[in-house]
Amino acid sequence: MQQRKLGKSDISVAPLAFGGNVFGWSIDEKTSFSILDGFVDAGLNLIDTADVYSRWVPGNQGGESETIIGKWLAQGGRRDKVVIATKVGKDMGDGKVGLKKAYIQRAVEDSLRRLQTDYIDLYQSHDDDKSTPFEETLEAYGALIKAGKVRLIGASNYDVKRLAEAREVGEKLGLPLYQTLQPEYSLIERGAFERELEPYCLQHGVGVIGFYSLASGFLSGKYRSEADLGKSAARGARVKGYLNERGLKILAALDTVAQRQSSTPAAVALAWLIARPSVTAPIASATSLQQLEALVAATQLTLTPADVALLDEASAY
């Protein structure tokens, strides 16, 4: 399995990340364990989660995903085989939100406890907190890195202006720099990332681990008409917006390439992302071992120039 560096760090990851938002939401602990085992057995190692996953589920408090990963790690022999990425900053209730120093210091301890580990490989600002100076946030991360509790930091949902400002503050004050960015990025959601963020990330060596890589399952080909939206109550409303001329054109291109490659639309959509020079590892989730196999297949798929050109043209924005 090929390895890529996270930003300019010395941490290497395989070119596909597993999205841990499904743990404690759409799959239970036992299924989560089997998928994590399968993920690592396939030679993959980057697991992405967040403290807030999956607070949106009735009865959940947040932290369910980290807790399941922690129990899996506690079985032993796994910690050095994986790169754990988690996030801080989204609203956890009771005033637990944002990127102020005091809250980061509290939140990281909660995440470490749930994950049952002494350190987090990649700790990410889940949302831009414009009410907190970059200096305060980066100083907090610097203290965690110095203490050995965090190895490097990343940002999620930042626009290019704020990402650049954070870098300027970090360079000026000798504080940690964001080594990675998590933007929304897929064949169907290209423009927002490619216009400004992609050139910036390439210029400054910022690793990209994009989310919604399969556009909530739309790029798997599962949803092709409004009649298909009932297959997922959670995703139906979002996917409905993709059922237009451009979306169907993208699905047709994915079908063509999948047939050429003896593969699947999902694997092709991920392989297109993996082939982008700016992308370190797209994030994708699976709720069964069968789905996981389709994701892993993307890392073994080499698209031809003709394949890429067809997908680029179909998804042009």
Of 53, 103, 123, 242, the active-site residue reads 53
The position carrying tokens 């997908």 is 311
Contact partners, residue 228, CB within 8 Å, separation at least 6:
222
Helix (H, G, I), strand (E, B) or coil at 12: strand
Q: Is 185 a catalytic residue?
A: no
Q: Computed from CA positions of residues 109, 112, 116, 117, in that sequence, does the dihedral angle turn out positive or negative?
A: negative
The three-class DSSP label of residue 261 is: helix
Run of H or E including 252? helix 245-261
Dihedral sign, CA of 135, 21, 199, 275?
A: positive
Give the separation between CA 22 and CA 107, rounded to whole angstroms: 21
Give the N- to C-terminal CA distance of the chain in Å, as an integer.
Answer: 32
Please, are residues 47 and 69 in contact by the beta-carbon 8 Å criterion? Answer: yes
Q: What 3-state class would DSSP assign to 288?
A: coil
Cα separation of 199 and 258, whole Å? Answer: 29
What would the two tokens of residue 205 be? 């060596």
* Sole residue written with tokens 């400004």: 196
- Catalytic residue annotation: 53
